[in-house]
Amino acid sequence: MSKKEYKPLTIPKLKWNKKELSNTFGELVAQPLEPGFGTTLGNAIRRVLLGGVEGSAITSVIIKGVNNEFSSVPGIAEDTMQIMLNIKEIVVRNKDGIPGKMHLNFKGEGVVRVSDIVPDDHLELINSDHVIAHVGPDGELDITFFVESGRGYQRAQWPTDRALQEDNRIYLDAMFSPIRKVVFEVEKTRVGDEIDYDKLVLKIHTDGSENPLDVLHYAVSVLRTQLEHFLISAEIPFNEISVVPEQEEEKEPVQLDELGLKGVPVELLLKPIDELELSVRAHNCLKNAGIKRILDLVNLSDEDSLKIKNFGRKSLNEVKDSMKSFGLSFGMNIKESDLLKVLNAKEKDE
């Protein structure tokens, strides 16, 4: 019996908007897609992104001197309920996905921020400037945080057998998902003489604990794994019988793929720090310290940057955010000689 011949499907090309890509936002364009597939795939990916991506959150706390969420804390401007609401907004990156703890101890007058928390080694705090509470001159705020991983939303896991916990633990509702918002748009695109193919534009907003590339990879993995169980026989090899349509390609900028930094133009690293559009204060501090090029900046460590005169943590966070939008960070340790080798090689290929 002869094997049935199937018609091929259009295979899309994917491209991230590198100018907009950061740890909190990514825009992906997939085209061309079979007519109608833009909405089908866009909606499926969006739903899985919103409800199926793992993340970590604080699920319970122990606040010294407090045994329930309706108490007040001596010397603290906020009551326990307001402190808990502020705690729920703390963004945690969990490198291993296993449960962990964090601790905060703040004495004396001042503003308590996320940066005052000491986390376990596998936990990283993202929104370090977020305010937790305001402490008076004689006040003290001591909190132990318990972090867990999960998907979606979880109600506070209060034990049902007792009203007050022996360790005075207070349980919180938790939103594990690192996704803040997902939007997709479908437009028409041309393939040859055909004009009814789809172009899918997917915009992903995260809380910064996970980047858009990783959450999309996770979501598609979830979706594909689930769909495999609907196959009743061997999968039809559409990828093998299909081809990518010929389309005019935009010329890509010179990349640092050889150095493991995909998506970063060589020329950008050799340009002055003016390209980062920093505030006057941060810009002048770096200039006065002899940091004139972006390459000089990315080779600094966080600790080295804080040693620069008048360059405080606020300036550090500003520069970090600006670098992230270009796919850069501190401590890259890129040799200028390696940069020039890559640039020369690319110029010869052209």
Closest to 196 (Cα-Cα) out of 10, 71, 15: 10
Burial (CB < 10 A; 0-12, 13-18, 19+), residue 48, is buried
The amino acid that residue 6 corresponds to is: Y
Cβ(266)–Cβ(342) under 8 Å? Answer: yes
Q: Which two tokens stand for residue 35?
A: 């007519």
Same domain, yes or no: 230 and 170:
no
- The first and second tokens of residue 106, run together, are 């703040």
CA distance 41 to 51: 16
Q: pLDDT value at position 172?
A: 94
Tens-digit pLDDT profile for the chain (350 aa)?
457 788 888 888 899 998 888 989 999 999 999 999 999 999 999 999 999 999 999 999 999 988 888 888 889 999 999 999 999 999 999 999 899 999 999 999 999 999 999 999 999 999 999 999 999 998 999 999 999 999 989 998 888 777 667 788 999 999 999 999 999 999 998 887 778 899 999 999 999 999 999 999 999 999 999 999 998 888 888 877 776 555 444 444 444 555 556 667 777 788 888 888 888 888 888 888 888 888 888 888 878 888 888 888 888 888 888 888 887 888 877 777 777 777 666 655 55
Give me the pLDDT at residue 106, please. Answer: 94
- Residue 297, classed as helix, strand or coil, is helix
Position 147 scores a pLDDT of 97
State whether 47 and 186 are in the same domain.
yes
What's the token pair of residue 238?
């559409």
Element (H, E) at 194: strand 194-206
Residue range(s) defining the domain that contains residue 225: 13-53+179-241
Last residue of a domain, one of 175, 192, 216: 175
Neighbouring CB atoms inside 10 A of 195's CB total 9
pLDDT, position 262: 60
Same domain, 48 and 74: no
Contact predicate 181/5, CB 8 Å: no
Q: How many structural domains does the chain have? A: 3
Does 331 share its domain with 319?
A: yes
Answer yes or no: do 127 and 201 share one domain.
no
* Same domain as 59, residue 153: yes
Taking Cα atoms as reference points, which of 323, 312, 237 lies closest to residue 23? 323
3 backbone dihedrals φ, ψ, rounded to 5° = -75, 135
Burial of 19 (0-12, 13-18, 19+ CB in 10 A): exposed
Q: Which of 188, 158, 129, 146 is nearest to 59 (CA)?
A: 146
How much is the pLDDT for 321? Answer: 85
Report yes or no on 93 lying in a domain. yes
Radius of gyration of the chain from its Cα atoms, rounded to whole angstroms: 25
Tell whether 113 is covered by a domain: yes
**Domain closes at, from 141, 175, 209:** 175
User: Which pair of tokens denotes residue 175?
Assistant: 């939103």
